[in-house]
Amino acid sequence: KDYDLVKIVKNSVMKVEMTAKNKSQTLEYISQEDSMPGYFDSDRIEQVILNIVSNAIKYTPEEGQIKVFLECKENQGIIRVVDNGMGIPKEDIPRLFERFYRVDKARSREMGGTGLGLSIARQIVEAHNGSIRIDSEYGEGTEVIIQLPLEEKVV
Ligand code: ATP
Ligand code: MG
């Protein structure tokens, strides 16, 4: 097995700690796992985590809370990024993974970005035979769930 998902996720969270701190947000990594070996392109999986956690930081106001959970279930690595930020209207959720799709032009202009982060994340996750989905309550918060197979050689 080539890489350890625990290391990749921990490392990605570390990289954005200061960004969260600058917004007075708490950013927690929560896992019982010591190691989760699998065949990953670690740079690309790191890019996925960075995209998702950066979104959580960006779309959550100051003092907000962001939690990154990592667990192993039936030979799948499950990463969940949960925030208590602005959330996403239900009608926008199905389109989030389209290239350049952004919720509400006014809020997006103000925030900056291109609308590519999630489409890139999905491409990478699917290239690893995994899946990614989003659950959100507008005004309450957002949860992004990524599932990655752990053992098979896929890349
Ligand atoms: P980029 O990632 O290219 O800098 P972006 O963040 O706008 O730009 P995506 O990461 O693809 O693009 O996200 C698409 C849209 O989904 C965002 O514009 C934002 O409206 C919404 N979104 C993504 N993550 C969250 C989140 N955690 N909370 C609320 N809205 C979110
Ligand atoms: Mg983004």
The closest ligand to the CA of 54 turns out to be: 2
Which of left, alpha, beta for 123 (phi over 0: left; psi -120 to 50: alpha)? alpha
**Region 47-63: what's the mean pLDDT?**
97
* Beta pairing, strands 65-73 & 26-31: parallel
Q: Look up the ipTM and state it.
A: 0.98
Give the residue, by CA position, lying nearest to ligand 1 atom 12: 115
**Region 69-79: what's the mean pLDDT?**
96
- Which residue ranges have their beta carbon within 6 Å of ligand 1? 51, 55-56, 59, 83, 85-88, 96, 101-103, 108, 113-118, 142
**Region 48-55: what's the mean pLDDT?**
98
3-state secondary structure of 33: coil
- What is the phi/psi pair of residue 30, to 5°? -130, 115
Q: What distance in angstroms lies between residue 45's CA and the mean position of ligand 2's atoms?
A: 15
Spatial separation of the C-alpha atoms in residues 68 and 85, rounded to whole Å:
14
- CB contact at 8 A, 125 and 132: yes
The protein residues having their C-beta less than 5 angstroms from ligand 2 (an ion) are 55, 117
Question: What percent of the chain shows pLDDT beyond 90?
Answer: 86
Contacts of 62 (CB under 8 A, 6+ apart): 23, 24, 25
- Residues found in the chain: 155
**Region 6-26: what's the mean pLDDT?**
97
Spatial separation of the C-alpha atoms in residues 52 and 149, rounded to whole Å:
19
Give the residue, by CA position, lying nearest to ligand 1 atom 24: 55
Closest ligand 1 atom to the C-alpha of 97? 11
**Region 15-41: what's the mean pLDDT?**
96
- What is the tens place of the pLDDT at every residue in 78-127? 999 999 999 999 999 999 999 999 997 767 777 888 899 999 999 999 99
Q: What distance in angstroms lies between residue 52's CA and the mean position of ligand 1's atoms?
A: 8
- CB contact at 8 A, 144 and 132: yes
